[in-house]
Structures are given as C-alpha cells and as structure tokens.
A and B are shown apart, each in its own frame.
Chain A
Amino acid sequence: NAGVTQTPKFQVLKTGQSMTLQCAQDMNHEYMSWYRQDPGMGLRLIHYSVGAGITDQGEVPNGYNVSRSTTEDFPLRLLSAAPSQTSVYFCASTPPGGNTEAFFGQGTRLTVV
C-alpha cells in the first residue's frame, strides 16, 4: 500500500541544469497535482492533471513542465534550474467521487546553487 511515492527525496542542482522529479501513485486516482512549499507561503500549485493526457497550469507554472501519459505517473520537469526554484516539492493525488481529500507524497527537497 505505497500511496504516493516521490523520488528523489533530496537533490542539489547547479543553475541551468535540468531534471525530472518523479511521482507515482498506486490508488488509481485520476486527479494529480504538484505543489511547491516555501517558508511562510504554504503550498502553491504548479501544475495539475485531471486524467491521462490532460494537464493544466496552476498558480506558479513558469520554469516547469509536466506530462501525464499514464494514470499512475505524473513527472515534473525543471527545464533550466534557477535558485528561485529552491523549494520542497510535493505531489498529490485525489480520489474520484465525493471524497475530495488529497493524498500527498513525502516531498522532494531541491536546492539550486
């Protein structure tokens, strides 16, 4: 019963490098999302997906790309890392129906130097 799994847990990047944060869920949830968490700012939505093949932008999408080729996976790509992208990133998934609770992964702490 893994739930939402994020990898890696920690990552250090140099400015300009690219990387992909992985997110997988085994609960067959259609709705998945990515948030970044910065001190004093709560969680801010980066991108979300309502199902395979469908993605959309959230509040802070600049510098990030996503794709959703399967129900299970929702990777987040940093195209050219910048120090402003230093943050903790959380992936979440939400079950269908009336229960709208979001299940979060453990997070990826990213530092861009």
Chain B
Amino acid sequence: GENVEQHPSTLSVQEGDSAVIKCTYSDSASNYFPWYKQELGKGPQLIIDIRSNVGEKKDQRIAVTLNKTAKHFSLHITETQPEDSAVYFCAASRGYGQNFVFGPGTRLSVLP
C-alpha cells in the first residue's frame, strides 16, 4: 500500500523567511496530493492541493511542486507570518472515493 514520508518533523523560521516541507510517496498510482494545516485544537484544513497532471501550483504565499518521476512533492511558504505557525500534513490519494494516506506531520514555528 501507499506510504508517505514527510520531512522535517519540526521547522522553525524567522518571520518573513521561507519554509519548505517535503514529502515522498511510494504508490505510482497516487494522483492527488493535498496539504492540510492544523491549528491547535482544530481539525485539519486544506490549504492547497495538486493533481498529477500538474507540476506546480501557487496560491498567494503558498506553492506546491510535484515531481512524479521521483515521487516527491513539496510545500513552499514564502514571507512567513506568525499565523502560519501550525502542524502541516501532506497526503496522497488515488483520487475521488479513494482513501488518503497522510504523512506524520511537520510542526512549523514562525518566530517574530
């Protein structure tokens, strides 16, 4: 079955710097890769996603890149702000109706 690894497990950056979180997956049939942000005491919330027919997607300060050949995808956050502090999860899925497999999470701390 699918296995998703995520690095680093913790990440501290200064406000205004960039943050990068990397994930690898094992199942070449996976074609949907969402990123979730989880704030303390809340459920995960989607922040960006990418499908396997796209190499990069950007939404304001957040971008995701996908390398299907190497089976890895990354989350990039630019101009980090204190409100970006949270736990971030990557996930992989074969598409609608198929289950997500999540990475173990990255705790991002943005220091003022």
Residues of A that sit less than 8 Å from B by CB: 4, 31, 33, 35, 40-45, 48, 50, 58, 90, 92, 94, 96-98, 100-102, 104-107
Residue from A40, A58, A102 whose CB has the most chain B CB atoms within 10 Å:
A102
A97 x B99 contact (CB < 8 A):
no
Q: How far is the CA of A58 from the CA of B32 in the complex (A)?
A: 19
B interface residues, Cβ below 8 angstroms from A: 4, 6, 9, 32, 34, 36, 41-46, 49, 89, 93, 95-97, 99-105
A105 B34 Cβ-Cβ under 8 A: no
For residue B4, which residues in chain A have a CB less than 8 angstroms away from its CB? Answer: 42
B28 to A: closest C-beta gap in Å: 18
- Report whether B103 and A100 are in contact in the complex, using a CB–CB cutoff of 8 Å: no
Q: Is the beta-carbon distance between B42 and A106 smaller than 8 angstroms?
A: yes
Is A96 in contact with B104, judged by CB distance below 8 angstroms?
no
**Total A-B contacts with CB atoms under 8 angstroms apart:** 58
A96 and B32 alpha carbons, distance in the complex (Å):
15
- CB of B96 within 8 A of CB of A90, answer no
Closest 8 CB pairs of A and B: A104-B43, A42-B102, A42-B104, A43-B102, A100-B96, A101-B46, A104-B44, A106-B43
The chain A residue sitting closest to B90, CB to CB, is: A42
A104-B47 Cα distance, complex, nearest whole Å:
13
Are A101 and B49 in contact (CB-based, < 8 A)? yes
Tell me the minimal C-beta distance from B91 to chain A in angstroms.
8
Contact flag A107-B96 (CB < 8 Å), given A43-B102, A100-B32 = no
- Could you say which of B44, B95, B97, B105 contacts A90, with CB atoms under 8 Å apart? B44
What separation, in Å, do the CA atoms of A4 and B43 have in the docked complex?
10
* B43: chain A residues within 8 A (beta carbon): 4, 90, 92, 104-107
CB within 8 A of A98: which of B9, B44, B96, B105? B96
Chain B nearest CB: distance from A20 CB in Å? 19
Beyond A42-B104, A43-B44, list 19 extra A-B contacts (CB 8 Å).
A33-B99, A40-B104, A41-B104, A42-B6, A42-B103, A42-B105, A43-B102, A92-B43, A98-B96, A100-B32, A100-B34, A100-B95, A100-B96, A101-B34, A101-B49, A102-B46, A104-B45, A106-B41, A107-B42
